[in-house]
Amino acid sequence: MAMANEAYESLISRRSIRAYQQKPVPQEILQKLLEAAMCAPSARHEEPWHFVVIDEREKLSEIARVHPHAKMAASAPLAILVCGQASLETARGYMPVDCGNAALNLLHAAHALGLGGVWVGIYPRQERIAEMRRLLSLPEEVLPFAFVPLGYPAESKGRENRYKADRVHHNKW
């Protein structure tokens, strides 16, 4: 039961972290993050995702300059771009959901492993999609979905109660 409580606490205590220590993320932690992202549920088990790991300071700084909500990328030790590949999707319309699941698994794994991260939206903004394709040389059939800067937190945020009883309905509206 202790493990279940730890998992639950990790889920409800995760917060968006936008400030990072200048400390590299070890390769074995990066591997665990990617494994967790790829364990996400996907429609028909298609797993239409790809992940672009970005750890070059110049690329991270460029993304921070061109994306209006990615300023924190300039100080992050790394980021992961979650992408979807259209040709891997036969259950049409589910690729964004699948990629969202992968991004969320990535964020929860980061938190559980002592890192902080934040989901920076790319999809469905066409200008952001085009800019990420250009900056990272993505093929046309690959959809950049979510950009996730990561690192050891340089800020601390308290747990936030987001439960809203008025949003819960039983058996009917």
- The predicted-structure confidence for 141-169, as pLDDT tens digits, reads as follows 999 999 999 999 999 998 899 999 999 99
Q: Is 148 helix (H, G, I), strand (E, B) or coil?
A: strand
Helix (H) or strand (E) holding 84: strand 78-85
Classify residue 165: in a domain, yes or no: no
Helices (H), the chain: 2-13, 27-38, 57-66, 95-112, 126-136
Count Cβ atoms below 10 Å from residue 14 Cβ, excluding itself. Answer: 20
**Residue 2 has what pLDDT?**
77
Give strand pairing partners of 116.
151
pTM of the model: 0.95
In a domain, 147, yes or no: yes
Is the pLDDT score of 101 beyond 90?
yes
7 in a domain, yes or no?
Answer: no
Look at residue 170 and tell me if it is in a domain: no
8 Å CB contact between 95 and 48 = yes
Question: How many distinct structural domains can be found in the chain?
Answer: 1
Spatial separation of the C-alpha atoms in residues 80 and 105, rounded to whole Å = 12
- The answer to whether residue 148 sits within a structural domain is yes
Q: Please write the tens of the pLDDT for every residue from 8-55.
A: 999 999 999 999 999 999 999 999 999 999 999 999 999 999 999 999
Binned at pLDDT 50, 70 and 90, residue 4 comes out as confident
Please indicate, yes or no, if residue 169 is contained in any of the structural domains: no
Other CB atoms within 10 Å distance of the CB of residue 28: 9
The pLDDT mean for the chain works out to 96
CATH code: domain of residue 104 = 3.40.109.10
User: Is residue 117 a part of any domain in this protein?
Assistant: yes
Instruction: Answer yes or no: is 167 within a domain.
Output: no
Nearest C-alpha neighbor of 40 from the set 92, 86, 84, 93:
84
Q: Find the domain containing 107 and state its range.
A: 25-155
Q: Which long-range contacts (CB under 8 A, 24 or more apart) does 40-44 make?
A: 40/98, 40/101, 40/102, 40/104, 40/105, 41/98, 41/101, 42/94, 42/98, 42/101, 42/102, 43/91, 43/94, 43/97, 43/98, 44/90, 44/91, 44/94
